[in-house]
């Protein structure tokens, strides 16, 4: 469901007018960084979940990709809150994106005075929309059926996996399309060494004998904000977490497996390669994490970690 207004380079434009030229550098070379953020409905109005970590990652991503960022972290945060308020959302999905726009079609797209290259302008856009459960309403409770993809995640010296860059998601598209073409809800990619990396658009957790395992940065994962959230909740609830390479067969032997991500939130995995995970139902720990997560984001439990930024706090921003 599109919203009425989109924030673009410091001004609001109508959804239908937020166009880019066909020569935009990002369209040809994937030179963009972006974020996925959610705002949840609470008794005190809409609240953005973990706004600051998302914006910080966006700015760090632009730095790594050497895309000039014309706005500060605070300016982006305020623009996100104002966009939500202007569109009148109770809850929504938020997509900030920074990309190289129309101009020179050189491979780098950046200004290089020594080579007399002018570069392309940076575009910054924030749009909001209504978006339900990424892997489906049923999967949130009953779990998703997934497969191990034949596509591997990038080696650590090829792409910056810690950056949420548009170009990186060519790999994710291939993983996702292969899974859907084979009748699965999602695909899981292995890393270059053959260990579990992550889903096409999600981080992954594996539970064996009440111990929670999850891959680290060495497995070419995106260090997800929701992943970090779940780690904090697991600590609150007293579960042991181990960061280590995860062998593929651990997924088949696991008592529970679940995905995390802004879009996926916390989604249990029901089967991997048509082998049931545990009892083939959502596990106890996954369910407990979901209950905790949705109670905090919905305002039913105290925001003990300061994760929510309420939109009405910034209504005076112009």
**Are 104 and 195 members of one domain?**
no
Burial of 279 (0-12, 13-18, 19+ CB in 10 A): exposed
**Are 123 and 146 members of one domain?**
no
Residues paired with residue 112 on neighbouring β-strands, in sequence order: 117
In a domain, 39, yes or no: yes
Distance CA 20, CA 259 (A): 34
User: What would the two tokens of residue 257 be?
Assistant: 């497996």
In a domain, 61, yes or no: yes
Residue 263's nearest CA partner among 202, 178, 215 is 202
Structural domains in the chain (count): 2
Task: Using the structure block, give the residue that is written with the tokens 């779940």.
Answer: 230
In a domain, 307, yes or no: no
State which of 129, 158, 193 marks the end of a domain. 129
State which of 97, 129, 161 marks the end of a domain. 129
Report pLDDT digits (tens) over 149-196. Answer: 999 999 999 999 999 999 999 999 999 999 999 999 999 999 999 999
Residues 18 and 125 sit within 8 Å (Cβ to Cβ): yes
**Are 102 and 162 members of one domain?**
no
Report pLDDT digits (tens) over 205-223. Answer: 999 999 999 999 999 999 9
CB atoms < 10 A from the CB of 49, how many? 24
Residue 39's nearest CA partner among 314, 316, 299, 297 is 297
Distance CA 267, CA 185 (A): 11
Report pLDDT digits (tens) over 254-308. Answer: 999 999 999 999 999 999 999 999 999 999 999 999 999 999 999 999 999 999 9
Residues 97 and 60 sit within 8 Å (Cβ to Cβ): no
pLDDT at residue 317 is higher than 60: no
Q: What is the CATH number of the domain that holds 149?
A: 3.20.10.10
Residue 37's nearest CA partner among 111, 119, 97 is 97
Report pLDDT digits (tens) over 152-164. Answer: 999 999 999 999 9
Distance CA 4, CA 13 (A): 8
pLDDT at residue 314 is higher than 80: no
**Are 274 and 208 members of one domain?**
yes
**Are 113 and 171 members of one domain?**
no
Report pLDDT digits (tens) over 1-47. Answer: 789 999 999 999 999 999 999 999 999 999 999 999 999 999 999 99
**Are 115 and 154 members of one domain?**
no
**Are 272 and 174 members of one domain?**
yes
Residues labelled catalytic: 164
What domain range is 152 assigned to? 137-282
State the Rg of the chain over Cα.
Answer: 20
**CA distances (Å), origin 276, targets 252, 253, 272, 280:** 7, 9, 7, 5
**Are 163 and 231 members of one domain?**
yes
Residues paired with residue 49 on neighbouring β-strands, in sequence order: 308
CA 281, 284, 286, 290 torsion-angle sign: positive
Q: SS3 for 47?
A: strand
Helices (H), ranges, the chain: 25-29, 51-64, 73-87, 137-142, 169-181, 225-237, 248-253, 284-297
């Amino acid at each position: 469901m599109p919203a009425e207004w989109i924030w673009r380079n410091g001004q609001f434009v109508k959804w239908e007018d937020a166009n880019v030229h066909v020569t935009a550098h990002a369209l040809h070379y994937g030179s963009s960084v972006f974020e996925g953020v959610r705002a949840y409905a609470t008794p005190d109005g809409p609240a953005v979940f973990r706004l600051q970590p998302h914006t910080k990652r966006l700015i760090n991503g632009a730095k790594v990709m050497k895309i000039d960022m014309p706005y500060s972290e605070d300016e982006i945060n305020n623009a996100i809150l104002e966009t939500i308020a202007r569109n009148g959302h109770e809850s929504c999905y938020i997509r900030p994106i920074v990309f190289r726009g129309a101009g020179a079609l050189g491979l780098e797209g950046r200004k290089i005075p020594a080579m007399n290259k002018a570069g392309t302008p940076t575009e910054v856009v924030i749009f909001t929309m209504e978006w339900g459960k990424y892997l489906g309403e049923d999967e949130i409770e009953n779990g998703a059926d997934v497969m191990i993809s034949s596509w591997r995640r990038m080696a650590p010296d090829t792409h910056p996996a810690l950056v949420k860059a548009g170009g990186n998601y060519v790999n994710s598209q291939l993983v996702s399309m292969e899974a859907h073409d084979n009748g699965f809800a999602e695909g899981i990619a292995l890393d270059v060494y053959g260990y579990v990396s992550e889903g096409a658009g999600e981080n992954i957790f594996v539970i064996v004998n009440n111990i929670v395992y999850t891959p680290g940065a060495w497995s070419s994962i995106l260090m997800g904000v929701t992943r970090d959230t779940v780690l904090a909740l697991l600590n609150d609830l007293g579960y042991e977490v181990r960061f280590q390479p995860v062998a593929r067969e651990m997924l088949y032997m696991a008592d529970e497996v679940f995905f995390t991500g802004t879009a996926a939130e916390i989604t249990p995995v029901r089967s991997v390669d048509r082998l049931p995970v545990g009892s083939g139902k959502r596990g106890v720990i996954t369910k407990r994490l979901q209950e905790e997560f949705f109670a905090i984001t919905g305002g039913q439990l105290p925001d003990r970690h300061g994760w929510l930024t309420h939109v009405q706090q910034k209504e005076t921003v112009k």
